[in-house]
Amino acid sequence: MGRKSIFEQMEKLNLKYEVDVLRSLFNSKSIKIVKYRSIEEDVDAWRYIPSWKHNNRCRNCNDIRNKLKIDHIEAVTQPSVGDILTYIEYIANLLYLIERDTTRHKGFTPDYHLLKKNLNSLVAELHHEIKIIYSEEKVLVVEINPTATAVADIVDEPLGIKLIQYNHYLMKGDLETKRDVLLSLADKFEAIKSELKNYSQTVIADKVSFLLNNLNIRHNNLDGGYKKEYTANMDKTEIESWYDITYDVLLLAILTHDYIKNIKPDIDSLQTHY
């Protein structure tokens, strides 16, 4: 086997190295053009945390660091993927707090831009992306899901936010929150189900209804009058897998409806000119 190029060698992900690079830039005193202080020092100097909607009773960056165990993430010799996603999300939210204050922040140094570039590059390599939810004043690191993004653009904002949050890395194993998102999607599905059937999409409409009614989503299928023995015997991992499939099929149903109702007529009209 031939020698690997330096570029192939650099592509191999070393999470400890990645944390160290981010930490070095994050703690750099040359982030701002005017005043030399780090990101956290700048956030605390302008007291962004006390007025932040999601401060969770934290007074400053140090309080948040303690809750998220940031010192541990920076120091541990073998950080997990979850550790580094938490670290990225912490940094990204502080950058958001700084950048939204356009009256005080009009220019940044190359170190600042390199930090942002590294954040975006690393999160993409981990098959995630950084999503800013402006109405909620927060930044999430979520798994890349182009279908969810497409649906979020055509539904109302509260539902769109839930769709994005479903792909958050901390949602893994959280069946109750996933079920809540699926119930919200189910409400949207019910509003379009009859039209889907009218558009000859009965199969997908029936499959969605089956999943919603038999997987402990709409009804308690674990015991009582709606109990389904097969569902009751599933372990949590299998249930979660079917929840994720239900999520994908619901998104497909909503996109199909949007295509037939809003996109297909334009294509049909275009075809008349050929």
Instruction: For residues 207 and 240, state if they share a domain.
Output: yes
Instruction: For residues 132 and 173, state if they share a domain.
Output: no
Planar angle of CA 38, 44, 46, nearest 5 degrees: 105
User: Could you count the other beta carbons within 10 Å of the beta carbon of residue 16?
Assistant: 13
Distance (Å, rounded) from C-alpha 102 to C-alpha 258?
Answer: 37
Domain membership of residue 7 (yes or no) is no
Domain membership of residue 6 (yes or no) is no
Instruction: For residues 185 and 233, state if they share a domain.
Output: yes
- The residue that leads in pLDDT, 2 or 80, is 80
Domain membership of residue 163 (yes or no) is no
Indicate the pLDDT class of residue 103, thresholds 50, 70 and 90: confident
Q: What is the pLDDT of residue 34?
A: 56
User: What digits encode the pLDDT tens for the residues 147-196?
Assistant: 999 999 999 999 999 999 999 999 999 999 999 999 999 999 999 999 99
Instruction: For residues 135 and 252, state if they share a domain.
Output: no
Instruction: For residues 37 and 93, state if they share a domain.
Output: yes
Instruction: For residues 48 and 118, state if they share a domain.
Output: yes
- The pLDDT of residue 269 is above 80: yes
Instruction: For residues 112 and 201, state if they share a domain.
Output: no
Instruction: For residues 140 and 173, state if they share a domain.
Output: no
Instruction: For residues 176 and 120, state if they share a domain.
Output: no
Q: What is the pLDDT of residue 177?
A: 96
User: What digits encode the pLDDT tens for the residues 212-257?
Assistant: 999 999 999 999 999 999 999 999 999 999 999 999 999 999 999 9
3-class state of residue 108 by DSSP:
strand
Indicate the pLDDT class of residue 9, thresholds 50, 70 and 90: low
Domain membership of residue 152 (yes or no) is no
Domain boundary residue, one of 109, 144, 179 = 144
Task: Calculate the average pLDDT of the chain.
Answer: 92
Record the tokens describing residue 216, joined without a space. Answer: 């402990």
Domain membership of residue 159 (yes or no) is no
Q: Which domain holds residue 225?
A: 169-271
Count how many domains the chain has.
2
Indicate the pLDDT class of residue 32, thresholds 50, 70 and 90: low
Domain membership of residue 153 (yes or no) is no
Indicate the pLDDT class of residue 2, thresholds 50, 70 and 90: low
Planar angle of CA 183, 186, 187, nearest 5 degrees: 95
Report which secondary-structure segment, H or E, holds 130.
strand 128-133
Distance (Å, rounded) from C-alpha 216 to C-alpha 52?
Answer: 37
